[in-house]
């Protein structure tokens, strides 16, 4: 049998947990149009003593591939990540292939991180092509053999579910995720395409409405118990 203090304490814990889950759902909805974004959820569990707890999980299922007709855009069709390097040398991993040509001609992310070890695209080339295996070829003319500029690397992790969110749609390895493994023989890259977020707007909206109703009910319950507690104190006095 629970005391009133115990009921209030449990209610506060459960409301806090539901509010945390609501935050993850809202964040996934906010990133609905973020390229290559993987939705993050907070899976709730009820303990034997009636307290809510949970675990944060990332859904790495494939997002839809959208044609953009931009030669700098690259989608990953399948599992894996592209290594990118910040101006100060930090290495992170992303599935957002909305690249551009930087001021020095190198292929980089929209926020200025270098793609791979550095792939410089000549400013005067006729066109460039990104092959499904990541090779980047430059054509100096219609009837001229292409030049190999380098390769966009693709890596995979033993446990990608344990990667750490680093902001700006980038991920960092952890001890639980394992070290990145370079994939050499693949056909996962799609030039002129981008991967959309895998957030499901319908299920996420439904979950947000359900959590909102649950939070309202829980806070009302806390108010009722608090009123009963106050009345019990007044009777004793």
Q: What is the pLDDT of residues 165-198, one digit of tens each?
A: 888 889 999 999 999 999 989 999 999 999 999 9
Together in a domain, 111 and 169: yes
Together in a domain, 128 and 149: yes
Together in a domain, 187 and 206: no
Together in a domain, 73 and 180: yes
Inter-residue contact 70 to 8 (CB < 8 Å)? no
Residue range(s) defining the domain that contains residue 222: 4-60+199-236
Together in a domain, 177 and 210: no
DSSP state of 137: E
What confidence score (pLDDT) does residue 235 get?
A: 62
Together in a domain, 80 and 55: no
The pTM score is 0.80
Together in a domain, 148 and 223: no
Together in a domain, 49 and 73: no
- pLDDT over 60 at 2, yes or no: no
Indicate the range of 114-128, 169-183, 194-208, 214-228 predicted with least confidence: 214-228
- Give which of 193, 171, 166, 199 is closest to 78, Cα–Cα: 193
Inter-residue contact 21 to 4 (CB < 8 Å)? no
Together in a domain, 92 and 173: yes
Together in a domain, 136 and 227: no
Together in a domain, 26 and 123: no
| Domain count along the chain | 2
Together in a domain, 208 and 224: yes
Given the structure tokens 């509010």, which residue do they identify? 19
| Buried/exposed code over 208-231 (b: 16+ C-beta within 10 A; e: otherwise) | beebeeebeebeeebeebeeeeee
């Amino acid at each position: 049998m629970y005391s009133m203090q115990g009921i209030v304490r449990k209610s506060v814990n459960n409301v806090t947990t539901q509010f945390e889950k609501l935050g993850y759902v809202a964040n996934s909805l906010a990133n609905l149009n973020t390229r290559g974004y993987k939705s993050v959820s907070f899976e709730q569990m009820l303990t034997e003593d009636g307290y809510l707890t949970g675990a944060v999980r990332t859904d790495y299922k494939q997002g839809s591939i959208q044609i953009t007709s931009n030669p700098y855009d690259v989608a990953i069709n399948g599992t894996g990540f592209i290594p990118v390097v910040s101006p100060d040398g930090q290495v992170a991993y992303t599935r957002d292939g909305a690249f551009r040509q930087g001021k020095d001609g190198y292929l980089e992310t929209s926020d200025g991180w270098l793609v791979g070890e550095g792939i410089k695209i000549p400013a005067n080339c006729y066109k460039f092509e990104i092959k499904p295996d990541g090779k980047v070829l430059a054509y100096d003319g219609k009837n001229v053999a292409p030049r190999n500029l380098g390769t966009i690397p693709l890596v995979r992790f033993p446990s990608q579910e344990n990667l750490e969110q680093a902001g700006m749609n980038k991920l960092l390895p952890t001890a639980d995720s394992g070290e990145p493994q370079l994939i050499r023989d693949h056909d996962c890259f799609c030039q002129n395409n981008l991967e959309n977020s895998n957030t499901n707007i319908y299920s996420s909206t439904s979950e947000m409405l359900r959590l909102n109703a649950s939070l309202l009910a829980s806070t009302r319950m806390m108010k009722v118990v608090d009123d009963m507690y106050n009345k019990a104190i007044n009777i004793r006095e």
